[in-house]
Every structure is written in structure tokens, then in C-alpha cells.
Amino acid sequence: MSDYIIKNGFVFDPLTGIKGDKKDIGIKDGKIVEASEVKGGKTIDASGKTVMAGGVDIHTHCVGPKVNVGRLMRPEDKLFRSRTKVGNTRVEMGFSVPSTFATGYAYARMGYSFLNEAAMPPLHAPHVHEEIRDTPIVDIAAMPVMGNNWFQLEYLKNRELENNAAYTAWLLNATKGFGIKCVNPGGTEAWGWGMNCTTIHDPVPYFDITPAEIVKGQMETNELLGLPHCLHVHPNNLGNPGNYTTTLDTLKLAEGIKPNNKFGRDVVLHNTHLQFHSYDGTTWADFESGSKKVMDYVNAHDNISFDVGFVTLDETTTMTADGPFEFHLNRLNNLKWANTDVELETAAGIVPYVYDKNIKVCDIQWAIGLELALLAKDHMRCHLTTDHPNAGPFTRYPRVIKWLMSKKARDDLLHSFKWSEKVIAATQLESMDRELSLYEIAQMTRAGPAKCMGISNMYGSLKEGTNANIAIYDINPEKMPKDPELIEKAFSETAYTFKDGVMVVENGVVIATTPKYTVWTDVKVKENAIVERDIHEKFAKYYSVGLENYKVFDEHMHNPRAIEVDATN
Amino acid sequence: MAKILLNMITQRSIEEGIAMEIGKPSKEYFEACSLVEMNEDDIKALGITPNTNVKVTSESGEVIVKAVVARQTCYRGLCHIRQGVWANQVVPPRTQSTGEPQYSGFPVYIEPAPFERIKSALECVQGAVGLWKEGNE
Amino acid sequence: MPKVIKNVGCPYCGACCDDVEVTVSDDGKRVLEVKNVCAIGTQIFMHGGDHDGRIKLPRMRQPDGTMKDVSFKEAIDFTAKTLLKAKKPLMYGFGSTNCEGHAAAARVMERAGGCLDNCASICHGSSFLAIFDNGYPSCTLGEVKNRADVIVYWGSNPAHAHPRHMSRYAIFPRGFFTGKGHKSRTVIVIDPRFTDTGRVADYYLQVRQGHDYELFDAFRMVCHGHADDIPDVVANIPKETILEVAEVMKNARFCNFFYGMGLCHSDGRNHNIDIAISLTRDLNEFTKCTIMAMRGHYNITGPGAVWSWQFGFPYCLDLTKKTMVHMNPGETSSVDLAMRDEIDAFINIGTDAGAHFPIPAVQHLKKHPFITIDPSRNMASEISDLHVPVKICGVDDGGIVYRMDNVPIQYRKVVDAPAGVPSDEEFLDAVYERMVELEGEGFI
């Protein structure tokens, strides 16, 4: 393995507080070191360029069963829009739901090194791990979906937090999962009967628990265990006009709950794709932005974080464990609809969607995403995502960065809309002059997500001793380009990407792959006979798969990297 | 003795499944699959008794099999040869541009062939590609 | 002492029963006894391991037509050279191969620049075509077990093709909301033959063969409020039966359609599936309704999954350009390629095209080099130029397989394969390495 010195770049590293200083970075044995420690390594001239840690995506649907149904269901997603293979890489196919190879390479070209797969149905965990194996370069963690899990509904209904914690630890171990994902709490179980929960107080059929009780109980469970990441919530009532009230109700559940972990995380609730949850109005006719009402709350409460889920105005493929939402969306656009209800656990729906810039609602959604990021006071708690591929494919992150950094870029687009006046009236984007800095972009794309997930000792930083995951962008902070397109271009294809000290991308071309890792959370808890009995009973009676075959075999995990948590006390 | 036109389908059966796993060259496979299941009245219309050999002819080939009364009843006009070697001697390869051959629902003529021999699986397939020789079993 | 291994997955049908108990001989070479398995599965387990009947070396056809044992090294070399020499080789099969094998095959065919197809091409390919157009509102089998109170088997005969399907998942099990088992459920069977599955039905509808589409259409008319306009008889079914059964479906708490080859293989092909999906969508206006394809082999769902994540297409892949992939069933499907005689080398793996393709397609394929990779003698192996024996996934090799509902099941190795016999993955990886070597030496 070669050693390197990256010389004269402008370094942005929020976790060490470096704000664009010229600084040399050393790479030795795959780790970041003081530049002076590198003797005889190769020199990379980064003068006039921006140096950041490898990107960290806190919420992306990149691997697993519903992503794969999206690929299978949409042959048209491959037409005309796939790259031609170069060099000794594998074929890259697909646009909104790219193949595993295309996903790994495309993230590497954008300078990313860590992805958090946002929704792993526990029953399908071996599938997720197979796809992780086939996604090159980037390290991946996957969150098992638990917000509608029968064990949790029963334990939380009875306020048996210790049992719930023991079960959660068992499930993370069985699925080799990373943290607790909660999607449309209670609503997806209701979908088993074709119903839904649209407020946090709707009782779940049969189980007779409310979404509020689920979210609160899971937050407490998370802090009881001291997991690296906080509870990761997709609240009820996604995508409906007026849903910001449900969002505020959900966020308020975190009041009074304190973080408990050894990983440097200081939030207890992460609201994912907040854009889809910040809608005002009562119907699609009077639909308008609720971003200010939501951000006033978020800015004033520092134990919550969010990612945006920016709408990128593309044809894409929506997919979520929020089964009833996808059914509802399908009734709006009448395109093809796939659904998979997963026994005792969750569901998933998939519907293609065209965010058409000639449709007012789509443009308002686009504006809401940008407003959230521009209203945010602390970008360590505001993360860049497109809820890939729901609001747009992850390959549009550079375009989002352009809109965030350039008022001109977003104004030009806003004024080009067919219904621009109506869009302007329903939003406040036009009045906003803020342009984010490269430092804030670094917070949104690596430092903030890494801190929120409790992995900042391994990812998202250029601290000495961490893995040498580095992105070097061809953009000069002292001479920011006048043409915003150049911002997009710079973030689309790095000058260099390093993964674990190996140069994997050079001038936007993938030149090498390197072993990649599966990150998961290994939680030790006290023995719990009640939970063990419950697990055996549910598998004997209700699951269609044997308990011993449900747990992911070690041989099916690709390069595991475990985060140890001791919760035996 | 008559010749009748029937609508043929070919599907799985448990006898075929068991025999296939024993082995396609086996006696079990031969017994499970080298027959055509018909409605009793269609067999009568052929002027034969059940368990008589018949010749099945389609647009793409012909095969000798034994006519039996279907236990899983076929209505009159429908016949069934279990999925496998004998059925595929007559299944038309046309796919309606889907990749799937016409396994279910194609016209066949059935006529009595009491003195003709049913070929073994190997003879059917090797014979079709010019590899069959006595003693290959 | 013989050893009992529990929680073993069965390598027969798409129901992927994973509760099999296998008793293995002291030396770990033979299966002595199996429990919790159907008659077909029993046969497969009895074939695994190291015993006299097992083929242990590749067999190469000689100029006089006989087969002669050769080394695996020769087999690897022959396969690699065949692939490199061919302009448009086809690798087809994979119903009885683990997903690790599917991934290895994809790498080989991407390098070779050929076509890659699986048994869905002649089985549930129609389902894929319908899914491309209309989606797939489905669920896992445990959902059916725990919730479904109306079960429809349409053009499928699990009593014969998926022997434990009804008892494990669909009709008889007592689930969470279906505690009375069979008594909690209404069973509807629609099939032109009065099958053994039909015998357990509460409603058996003897549809006229090839006219399923009309019957679906009639059910859809009821859902859309046009019951009055239905003719007196549709596809052999009286109007009053259609209305009665439609009410059963609409008033279900949870209704699931299982469908099979009766729809895929009949005239109309994908259109039959398409309208089945549309009916499922319609019924969701009244209740909860899902649909599921009765996939045949235990891992025929696997290649569709693996190739979808690797290439974005589940079957009928054309990789001849080597830099991108396209799929166009009808053009790139195995039987059509064969009938147009576009294929100039054929590899049959984990299936038996010799027995299951219409014979004219086999005759075309046999004009060119023909290789079979399969543990046992079958019709394809007996007309091949080369037959390579491999391990049996689920018996002497482990690996991941996908059940008919896309749930991954981790299979176990229960006995040792004969020494030197590789898995599909090991053999294909060796072919890949040999191809790289040959290309480096300037072969072709």
C-alpha cells in the first residue's frame, strides 16, 4: 500500500474545526497521519483544491429487497441513462435505482466512503448483506426496521423497556444491523389490514398501542442501550398536506430525553427526510410550505437532528417501508405499484414517480427542501440526503449543493417554472439570500452525519488515526466559480478519492477498488429468559422461517466491522 | 379406429417430480411421464381401452405415449402429458415473443398406435440430435 | 454415531421448507434418513454425498460418441476456451444453484460477452413481463399464514408441484389471526383440471383452458360495479358462481392469489398475469389483497434477485457488448435465441434443457458446443460435449437461496461431496481465472 502526502489543499474538517486552512494531510498504512510522518510517499498536489473527509450518507436506500424490486420492476430505468463501462470495472446499470456496482462507483466518484442503508427488513437481512458484498468501495451499515415489529409493539405497550432493549440487542445481532429504524410507527402494521395511522395518537389495530408510545419507547430503549446512532424516525403521515403538525407532535416526544452513549452523539431523535414532513395547507390545491414552523422548533431544540430528503425534480423510484403511503401515492399517479408485507415486522411499497418541474406541487416540494437547509442554524444537525431514491437519486447531491451554495442557481430554476408565481406564493425560497459555505456543506455531508451516527472516530473526519477516507474536489474556496454549474461539476467527480488509503478515483474515473466493510453494532446485554422464550415462541408459531435460519450466518457477512456496546449494567 | 383433435397442456405432477429426482434415465421416470392423461369419453371416442399406446402429433413433432384416464380430471377435449421429455417432443417452440414456449393449450391429433413402441427418454432426446445408439441406456 | 442436523433447507421447490431434519452417516458422507420433507425432497437428499452412483469427474464426449472421464483442469480449460471462441455463447439454467453461483456466472458471462438466462425464461418470465408493466403487490408467506382468510390458487397445483405449501403457509397452518387453521380460511381453486388441489377447495371453478383472462375480466367488472353486464357464462363459469366468488374475495379480511404455470404458459402469457395484478389492485379498494407467483425450483427466484442487483434485469440478459447490458424477452430469451439459431455455444447449468425445452430448440442448440454443469446425469448431460459434475446446493454445499416470496433462506451443507468435486461457484470462478489467463496469452 502506498503512502501519500496531500499538499497545499484547502481543508474543511468540522470535527476538528478546520475551516478551509491550507494544510497537508498524510496517509500512512491506510490511516490519516501528521504529514511529517510520511517518508517517501507519493505527493498529491491539492493546491487550489478543497480537501474533505470521505462523505457519509446518513439515509440512503442503496441495498436490499425493496431497492432490488425497484431495479427489477423498472427496466426503463436502465434505458439511455447508464454509463458505459470503463477499464477493469464491472458494468454499471441504472439511474434512479442503480445496480450495486453502479452505486459503489458513483458514490466513490462523489467522494463518499460510508453509507447507511435506511431500511433493512430483518427477515431479509441475508439479502441486504449479499448486496453489501457486491457494492464496491464504500462501507455500509444497515438499520433494521422496528417501528411495527410485533415484539416491540407488545413490549412497549406493556412498558417493558428492559425486555424491549434485550430484544433490540438480539435483533441487531441476528441481522448484523446498525441501529433502530422506525418507519410510520404503527401505520405499517395497520397496513397489514389495508389501514394506516396518520396521527401519533391513532391506535394500532389489535395491538392497541399508539405511534407516540412506540416512538417514545424506542427512544428510551436506544438510550438505555447506549447505541452509537440515535433513534432514526420516519414519522407518521408522510407526504400529506398539513402534516407538519404530526411532525411537530413527533419531534416533541424527544423533549426531556437525554443522550446516553460513549460515541460523542448528542441527539436522541433523528427525523429523516424532513422535507416530506414539512407540508402546510389542507389539500393539494392549497398546498404550501411548512418549513418555517418546523425549523423554528428544530432550531430551538438541540437534542434532535434531521436529514432533508431534497427533491431533485427527476423521474425516480419511490420506495419505503411506509406501505400505506405507497398505496396512496399509487392511487394518485396510477403507475405500477409493488408491495411486500413482511410477517411480524414491516412492509415495503415501491412506485415510480416523476417530479415534474411543470407541476406546482413538485416545485413546492423542491423549495421546501432547500428552505429547511437554509433556515437551519446548526448544520451539524441538518444533513444532506435525497432519501435516495425517493426524492431523487443520490447522484444529484452535487446539484443540491449547487442550489444551496448559489442563490442564482436556485432563482434561475425557480423563475423558469411554468407555475413559478404560484410556487413563489406558496414558499419563501425566493426571499432567502443565504448561500451555504463549503464548511457548512462539509457539516451536512460528512461531519454531522458521522457525529449523529456515533461513528465520528472512524468516518467523516480527517483526524489523525482515522481511516484515510478522503475526497479532494476541484474547487478553490478563494476563487469560487461565478458559474454555479462548476460547483455541481466539482462535487460530481472528485479529483481524487481515497478509501482506506487507496486511491480509488482519479479525475472522476474509478481506477481501483479496495476491501470494503460492513459496519454493525454488537450489543451485549444481560441474559433475559423472558425475551428468549418470547423469541422461541414467535418463531415456533408465527414466522415462516426457522429461528436458526433467520440469524445471518457469519459466512454471509462481508468484512464485518463491529461497534462494541456493553449494556450489561 | 378414430383420430381426434384435442387441446393439450403439460404441467408438473408429484410422480414426475419424484421420478425426475431418481433420475431421468430411470424406469420410474419413464412410467411417470410417457403417458397422456385424457377424459374417459375421449378415450372411448378413439375406440380403444385405457392403457393403450397412442400417437400424439402436433405442429412441431410426434410422440408415442400410453393413453390413460386422468385422475386429476380433464374435461372432454383437454389432454395432459406430464412435464418432461415426452411432452416436449410435441410442445411447439413458439413463444408469443415472451420467451415461453406454448406449453399449455396447443392442438394435437391423437390416434391409436397399439403396436408402436414407446421410446425411452434417452432415445427420444439423443435420437433427436443424432446421438442415439442401441446400448446407450 | 449418525448425526442429526436440524433446520435444513430443502433443495426442491420454491416453498423452500427450512425445517428438514437430516440424519447423516458417521463418516459424514451419506444421508441415512430425512424428516419433515415431501416425497420429492427425500429423493434429492438421498442423492447427495459420496457414494457409488455419484459422478465424480467431468466427462468429455469422444469422436466415437462415447464419454470419457477427464480432469477438472481439462474441463475448466475446455469451458473457458469455448466461451472465448464463441461470438454469442448462452449460459442458461440456475434453478438449482445457490446465489453465490449466480454471481460467479454473471462475472464469467460479462467477461465472455454472452447471454445469461435462467429457467424463469420458460416458467415465470411472463410474471416478470407483467411486473414490468403493472407492479407486484405481494407479501411474505408468513403474512398469508398469519392473516389471510381467503386463499386463491389459480392455474397452480401445489398438491403436486409444491407439496408442503398448503400445510406450511396457506391453508392449514394456525397463524396469529388465523388460529383455527383450515376453518379460518376459504379456499378457491381455479384450474381447467380438477386437480388434487381442487379437491380441498371450498369453491372449485373449472375454467376453460386458455380463457383465464376473460374470467379475470369478469371479476374486475364486479369490482368496478358492472356485475349486471357479465354474460351468463364466462370461460365455462356461470355468472352466479362468479358473483358469489367475487363477494367472497371482496369480503375477505386478507385475500391472497397464488398463481402458477396455468397462467404463464397459456395463450396471453403475461397478459394473464397483468390482469391478475390488476384484480389484486382493484380488491385493495375493498380489503387487503396480495398476489404471489408460485415459483418452481427452490432457488429460481435467486438469479432474478442477483442479476437485478448486479445488472438491473432479472433474466434474458444480453451482455455481448461487454460494456452494458440489455434485456428484451422474445429477442434475448433462450428458446427464441435457440430457434433463430443465434447461439454458437451453450452452457446448461443447474437445470435440464434437454428434457424441458421443446425438442426443436434443443436440436438447434446441439449444432454448437454444448456443456452441462450439473451434479447428476440428465438429458442435457447425455447430449453434451462436456458434463461437469458439481456439488448439490442444500445437500453437500450451503449458500443463500430465495424463496418464492423473495425471502432469503440460508441453506446448509449436510454431507461431504466426493473429494475434488467443486461447487458451481468454485468451478465458474476457475473458468473466469482461466479466461483471464487465456486472454493474457493472446488466445483469440
Cβ <8 Å between B74 and C192: yes
Residue of B72, B97, B128 with shortest CB distance to C194: B72
User: Residue B13 above 90 pLDDT?
Assistant: yes
User: Residue A58 above 90 pLDDT?
Assistant: yes
Query: H or E segment at A316?
Result: strand A315-320
What percent of chain A is modeled with pLDDT above 90? 98
Whole-number pLDDT of residue A530: 98
C334 φ, ψ (degrees, to nearest 5): -55, -50
Instruction: Nearest chain C residue to B133 by CA: give it.
Output: C65
* Cell representation of residue C217: 375480466
* C263 closest CA partner among C254, C272, C250, C251: C272
Q: What is the pLDDT of residues A241-253, one digit of tens each?
A: 999 999 999 999 9
Q: Note which residues in 68-107 of chain C have CB less than 8 A from chain A.
A: 99, 103, 107
C136 φ, ψ (degrees, to nearest 5): -160, 85
Angle between helices A407-416 and A484-492 (to 10 degrees): 110
Q: Which residues of chain C are within 8 Å of residue B106 when distances are taken between CB atoms?
A: none
**Residue B1 confidence class, pLDDT cut points 50, 70, 90:** low
Whole-number pLDDT of residue B90: 98
Cβ <8 Å between A75 and C137: no
Q: Where are the beta strands (DSSP E) in C105-163?
A: 115-118, 135-139, 150-154
Whole-angstrom distance, CA of residue C239 vs CA of residue C375: 51
Whole-angstrom distance, CA of residue A57 vs CA of residue A44: 26
C118 touches chain B (CB under 8 A): no
- Rounded to 5°, the CA angle C304-C141-A63 comes to 45
Q: How many CB atoms lie within 10 A of CB C315?
A: 28
Whole-number pLDDT of residue A1: 73
Angle between helices A100-109 and C301-311 (to 10 degrees): 20
Whole-number pLDDT of residue C51: 84
**Residue C60 confidence class, pLDDT cut points 50, 70, 90:** very high
List B20's β-bridge partners, or say none: none
Q: What is the pLDDT of residues A251-270, one digit of tens each?
A: 999 999 999 999 999 999 99
Q: What is the mean predicted confidence (pLDDT) over C363-375? A: 98
Q: What is the pLDDT of residues A89-140, one digit of tens each?
A: 999 999 999 999 999 999 999 999 999 999 999 999 999 999 999 999 999 9
Whole-angstrom distance, CA of residue C200 vs CA of residue C94: 33
Q: Which residues of chain C are within 8 Å of residue B88 when distances are taken between CB atoms?
A: 355-359
Q: Judge contact between A347 and A339, C-beta under 8 A.
A: yes
Instruction: Nearest chain A residue to C144 by CA: give it.
Output: A343
Chain C: partners with 3+ C-beta pairs within 8 Å: A, B
Distance from the Cα of C276 to chain B's closest Cα (Å) equals 18
Whole-number pLDDT of residue C311: 97
Distance from the Cα of B127 to chain C's closest Cα (Å) equals 10
Cβ <8 Å between A134 and C310: yes
Q: Which residues of chain B are within 8 Å of residue C157 when distances are taken between CB atoms?
A: 11-12, 72
Whole-number pLDDT of residue C225: 97
Boundaries of every domain in chain A: 53-452
Distances (CA, A) of A164 to A146, A149, A161, A230, A531: 11, 11, 5, 16, 8
Q: Judge contact between B81 and B36, C-beta under 8 A.
A: yes
Rg of chain C over all Cα atoms, to the nearest angstrom:
23
Q: What is the pLDDT of residues A507-539, one digit of tens each?
A: 999 999 999 999 999 999 999 999 999 999 999
Question: Does A have 3 or more CB contacts under 8 Å with C?
Answer: yes
SS3 per-residue string spanning A357-380: CCCHHHHHHHHHHHHHHHHCCCCC
Is CATH 2.40.40.20 what the domain over B4-128 is classified as, yes or no? yes
CA C328 to chain centre: 20
Q: Note which residues in 19-58 of chain B have CB less than 8 A from chain C.
A: 21-25
Determine the residue among A82, A117, A343 to mutate to test chain C binding: the one whose Cβ has the most chain C Cβ atoms within 10 Å.
Answer: A343
SS3 per-residue string spanning A144-208: EECCCCHHHHHHHHCCCHHHHHHHHHHHHHHHCCCCCEEECCCHHHHHCCCCCCCCCCCCCCCCC
Q: Which residues of chain C are within 8 Å of residue B11 when distances are taken between CB atoms?
A: 157, 160-161, 261-262
User: Residue C52 above 90 pLDDT?
Assistant: no
Q: Which residues of chain C are within 8 Å of residue A350 when distances are taken between CB atoms?
A: 135
Whole-number pLDDT of residue A249: 98
C207 touches chain A (CB under 8 A): no
Whole-angstrom distance, CA of residue A316 vs CA of residue A496: 29
User: Residue C48 above 90 pLDDT?
Assistant: no
C36 touches chain A (CB under 8 A): no
Q: Which residues of chain C are within 8 Å of residue A91 when distances are taken between CB atoms?
A: 110, 311, 319, 322-325
Q: How many CB atoms lie within 10 A of CB C318?
A: 22
Q: What is the pLDDT of residues C162-181, one digit of tens each?
A: 999 999 999 999 999 999 99
Cβ <8 Å between A336 and C133: yes
Q: What is the pLDDT of residues A389-448, one digit of tens each?
A: 999 999 999 999 999 999 999 999 999 999 999 999 999 999 999 999 999 999 999 999
* C237 closest CA partner among C257, C258, C207, C212: C207
Instruction: Nearest chain C residue to B33 by CA: give it.
Output: C355
Q: What is the DSSP letter of B132?
A: -
**The pairing of beta strand B61-69 with beta strand B35-38:** parallel
User: Residue A82 above 80 pLDDT?
Assistant: no
Q: How many CB atoms lie within 10 A of CB A515?
A: 12
* A219 closest CA partner among A263, A257, A256, A173: A257
Whole-number pLDDT of residue C444: 74
Distance from the Cα of C251 to chain B's closest Cα (Å) equals 30
Q: Which amino acid is at C303?
A: P
Instruction: Nearest chain B residue to C335 by CA: give it.
Output: B99
**Residue C46 confidence class, pLDDT cut points 50, 70, 90:** confident
Q: How many CB atoms lie within 10 A of CB A425?
A: 12
C157 touches chain B (CB under 8 A): yes
Instruction: Nearest chain B residue to C296 by CA: give it.
Output: B12
Instruction: Nearest chain B residue to C297 by CA: give it.
Output: B17
Q: Note which residues in 191-210 of chain C have CB less than 8 A from chain B.
A: 192-196, 198, 206, 209-210
Whole-angstrom distance, CA of residue C246 vs CA of residue C35: 40
Angle between helices A211-225 and A244-252 (to 10 degrees): 40
Whole-number pLDDT of residue A79: 85
Q: Which residues of chain C are within 8 Å of residue B85 when distances are taken between CB atoms?
A: 355, 379
φ/ψ bin of A281: left (φ > 0), alpha (ψ from -120 to 50), beta (otherwise):
left
Provide CB contacts within 8 A for B9, sequence distance 6+: B78, B79, B80, B103, B104, B105, C192, C209, C262, C265, C266
C229 touches chain A (CB under 8 A): no
Residue of C126, C262, C382 with shortest CB distance to B100: C126
Q: Note which residues in 339-398 of chain C have CB less than 8 A from chain B.
A: 339, 352, 354-363, 366, 376-379, 382-383
User: Residue A452 above 70 pLDDT?
Assistant: yes
Q: What is the CATH number of domain A53-452?
A: 3.20.20
Q: Please tell me the number of Cα atoms within 13 Å of A485 on its side-chain side.
A: 2
Cβ <8 Å between C410 and A101: no
C258 touches chain A (CB under 8 A): no
Cβ <8 Å between A338 and C309: no
* Cell representation of residue C20: 428438514
Whole-number pLDDT of residue C50: 85
Whole-number pLDDT of residue A569: 81
Cβ <8 Å between C314 and A127: no
Q: What is the pLDDT of residues C97-141, one digit of tens each?
A: 999 999 999 999 999 999 999 999 999 999 999 999 999 999 999
B107 touches chain C (CB under 8 A): no
Q: How many CB atoms lie within 10 A of CB A157?
A: 16
Cβ <8 Å between C410 and A71: no
Chain A: partners with 3+ C-beta pairs within 8 Å: C
Q: Note which residues in 354-393 of chain C have CB less than 8 A from chain A.
A: none
Question: Does A have 3 or more CB contacts under 8 Å with B?
Answer: no
Whole-number pLDDT of residue B94: 97
User: Residue C412 above 80 pLDDT?
Assistant: yes
Q: Where are the beta strands (DSSP E) in C195-253?
A: 203-205, 233-234, 237-238
Boundaries of every domain in chain B: 4-128
Residue of A72, A84, A350 with shortest CB distance to C308: A72
Whole-number pLDDT of residue A86: 81
Cβ <8 Å between C335 and B101: yes
* Cell representation of residue C331: 429477442
